[in-house]
Structure 1
Amino acid sequence: MSDLLRLATAGSVDDGKSTLVGRLLYDTKSVLADQLDAVHRASVDKGLSTPDLSLLVDGLRSEREQGITIDVAYRYFATPRRTFVLADTPGHVQYTRNTVTGASTAQLAILLVDARKGVVEQTRRHAAVLALLGVPRLVLAVNKIDLVDYDHGTFEVIAKEFATHAGNLGYAADAVLAVPVSALVGDNVVEHSERTPWYTGPTLLEHLETVPAQEDPHAAPFRFPVQYVIRPRTPEHPDYRGYAGQIAAGTVRPGDEVVVLPSGARTRVTRVDTPDGELTEAAAGASVTLLLADDLDISRGDLIAAGIDRPEVTDEIDATLAWLADKPLRAGARVLVKHGARTVQAIVGELRTRFDEQQLSTVDGPESLELNEIGQVTLRTSEPVPVDDYRTHGRTGAFLVIDPADGTTLAAGLVGAPLPVLERD
């Protein structure tokens, strides 16, 4: 089991997300003493008898009131069993792009609902975006269970409705867990609650500590975007030629047969170097330098991949874009596509569909994509790019769309990812 879990939170406004995150930080003793003192003082000033744990998360409220945009807050906490990186995203409808940003690297997402309201439109919207991004596991935190008198029937109705919705989005039953919680008083967040004897599953923290964090890195095909070509040209290393970068997927060993893309040249790995010496094996996430058997023309931006199950090399990318810019996207626009370490020119071809967030359906042939909208498009690149399907290779199936005029990021792109909708217009 990995000792690091990346997770994201999502939910509607006032569902208690800040209190839940504050509860996790508080109960795992991940709060500095001066922060806790400040929360106690502020809670007393508000006339509260117990600390308002949402203040641990909403400490930047004054900055919000001053008009400063806060996109995604990353929070860190740990238990003896695991370390967590939590992306806390805003709950407002207009911040869909923030959900995309926060969930893009998440291995699990916690969706909050108010037990009094159940699954609402924003719950369905967030679940659809999480499914689009390929977040593998969901937790439905049915919060404020104390405000419905810890009613088992209410929880069951909400859990079953969400399970059906998640199933329609492609989630397997064992990838979704519903937990009845009260973030305010701590029911089933860290400790089991005596007030919900009918709930026999794990607490929220128990689930976070034990859920598998990632797939076996040995199972994924090898992917290695080249960041630097190293040629020291020193008397000690007159013929050294290495290719440095971080392994995006899979594993590599000396002797492995690989293909260099987009050229298609095949060769063999002879050495895996690090600053601390040679390795007999390196897996996803490791930064290494590869030495190859043949002297090939390889440069920054090329992809070294497993000889079998290799990426597709194409100059026409069908992808889903989450549009993040104020100016709309229209067919014919000239952009840059940044995929790994490679940046190429591209023209936006057809805008095929747009995700209608209100109806959770798709609209065919839209004229444009506006800020925060998600749609499927075709991009024609100036040179071939090796890409994977995002659903099976997240790192090499994702890319950025950049404005060639000023270098700003316009969109996050997912190769081949279908829009997760339940019906069509």
Structure 2
Amino acid sequence: CAILIIAGGTGEFEAGISKDGQTREHALLAFTLGVRQLIVAVNKMDTTKWSEDRFNEIIKETSAFIKKVGYNPKAVAFVPISGWHGDNMLEESTKMPWYKGWTKETKGGVVKGKTLLDAIDAIEPPVRPSDKPLRLPLQDVYKIGGIGTVPVGRVETGIIKAGMVVTFAPSNVTTEVKSVEMHHEQLEQGNPGDNVGFNVKNVSVKDIRRGNVASDSKNDPAKEAASFTAQVIVLNHPGQIGAGYAPVLDCHTAHIACKFAELKEKIDRRTGKSLEDNPKFVKSGDAAIVKLIPSKPMCVGK
């Protein structure tokens, strides 16, 4: 879930949803990254003198633009808040008697609440893919006295537990997991969504690094990708982008320059429908399917 914080002040909201505004960009980015649940918190209501008209105006404008991005406004909780004064954050505010609370439609029916905390509590938890092969991108690798090498990262899919033989790609290092910890407590196993540290045998901190991906050596281990196909959305770029362009790509915890080898097709960024085959270039606002070639060894998957 994403929480879109909107400044309610005169001029601030308008700047945020303008063509190049950050509010618009953040909503598009969240949808593009697959975030399908959204909460809109209209902040700085104190600067609007707790105005119902201003809140309704912002809801109307915001609903229109998030609908264009791909969200259903009826499934979004709109909450008027003041972060500075704490109104409607944890407890219901007395300064907006006109506000009767938010409602949103979900698969399970209509959900209602008053505060931002209520809206957060109403988020539907995602399905945790623990049945898939292990994928754990490393955020960092530590050397801890008396323990040894401890890689840390979040389990994206699958599980990790002591005794498992893991492979780090693309470094191509294989070793046994001695123990798994989260928040300084030993775990029987790490599940998807868990930020874990795990102790490994006979591996130096120089052998593995941030951006490597740990996987189960016996169950579809992660491999280096010579090239890969990606959906790319151009949010804001001064000119046209064609084959040969090489931006730095942040994929899981890897940070590597990748070359646009081939523009396969231009697509509708909301529906994914093909609009044009083999376009010569793409520009701001376009979405495309592109073949990318990493400049250094890189591990990437669906």
* TM-score, normalised relative to structure 2: 0.64
User: Which runs of 5 or more residues in structure 2 are unaligned?
Assistant: 40-63, 77-97, 114-118
1:307-386 → structure 2 map (5 Å cutoff): 307=217, 308-327=219-238, 328-356=240-268, 361-386=274-299
8 A Cα contact 1:188 1:203, kept in partner: no
Deviations 1:117-141 (A, max 9, x none): xxx9x95x644xx7xxxxxxxx673
Given the alignment, which residue of 57, 60, 63 partners 2:12? 63
Partner of 1:226: 138
Does residue 190 of structure 2 align to residue 301 of structure 1?
no
Change (3 A) 1:370 1:218: same
Change (3 A) 1:293 1:216: same
Pairwise CA distance, 1:214 = 1.1
Does residue 155 of structure 2 align to residue 247 of structure 1?
yes
Q: Secondary structure at the match of 1:141?
A: helix
Task: Supply the AA of the counterpart residue of 2:202.
Answer: D
Task: Supply the AA of the counterpart residue of 1:371.
Answer: S
Deviations 1:187-216 (A, max 9, x none): 9937x9xxxxxxxx822449x877852113
Task: Supply the AA of the counterpart residue of 1:301.
Answer: G
Change (3 A) 1:357 1:303: closer
Given the alignment, which residue of 203, 207, 215 partners 2:110? 203
8 A Cα contact 2:232 2:287, kept in partner: yes
Does residue 31 of structure 2 align to residue 100 of structure 1?
no
Pairwise CA distance, 1:384 = 2.7
Q: Secondary structure at the match of 2:257?
A: strand
Partner of 2:187: 279
* TM-score, normalised relative to structure 1: 0.48
Pairwise CA distance, 1:285 = 2.8
Q: When you count helix as a share of all residues, which structure comes out higher?
A: 1
**What is the CA–CA distance in structure 1 between the aligned matches of 2:200 and 2:103, rounded to whole Å?**
51
Deviations 1:204-242 (A, max 9, x none): 449x8778521134223322222222124x4xx2x6111
**What is the CA–CA distance in structure 2 between the aligned matches of 1:337 and 1:344, rounded to whole Å?**
5
User: Which runs of 5 or more residues in structure 1 are unaligned?
Assistant: 1-5, 10-55, 73-89, 91-96, 111-119, 131-138, 144-183, 193-200, 390-425
Q: Secondary structure at the match of 2:276?
A: strand
Change (3 A) 1:71 1:60: farther
**What is the CA–CA distance in structure 1 between the aligned matches of 2:236 and 2:208, rounded to whole Å?**
34
Count of equivalent residues? 241
8 A Cα contact 2:213 2:222, kept in partner: no
Task: Supply the AA of the counterpart residue of 1:347.
Answer: K
Q: Secondary structure at the match of 1:338?
A: strand
**What is the CA–CA distance in structure 2 between the aligned matches of 1:312 and 1:302, rounded to whole Å?**
10
Pairwise CA distance, 1:276 = 2.3
Q: Secondary structure at the match of 2:103?
A: coil
Task: Supply the AA of the counterpart residue of 2:37.
Answer: L
Q: Secondary structure at the match of 2:178?
A: strand
Pairwise CA distance, 1:383 = 2.6
8 A Cα contact 2:7 2:13, kept in partner: no
Task: Supply the AA of the counterpart residue of 1:249.
Answer: T
8 A Cα contact 1:315 1:382, kept in partner: no
**What is the CA–CA distance in structure 2 between the aligned matches of 1:339 and 1:277, rounded to whole Å?**
29
**What is the CA–CA distance in structure 1 between the aligned matches of 2:226 and 2:161, rounded to whole Å?**
31
Change (3 A) 1:187 1:226: closer
Change (3 A) 1:65 1:280: closer
Change (3 A) 1:361 1:379: closer
8 A Cα contact 1:326 1:371, kept in partner: yes
Q: Secondary structure at the match of 2:296?
A: strand
Change (3 A) 1:246 1:142: closer
Deviations 1:9-68 (A, max 9, x none): 9xxxxxxxxxxxxxxxxxxxxxxxxxxxxxxxxxxxxxxxxxxxxxx9661342245688
Pairwise CA distance, 1:361 = 4.0
Pairwise CA distance, 1:370 = 0.8
**What is the CA–CA distance in structure 2 between the aligned matches of 1:252 and 1:66, rounded to whole Å?**
46
Task: Supply the AA of the counterpart residue of 2:171.
Answer: S
**What is the CA–CA distance in structure 2 between the aligned matches of 1:242 and 1:295, rounded to whole Å?**
9
**What is the CA–CA distance in structure 2 between the aligned matches of 1:214 and 1:321, rounded to whole Å?**
24
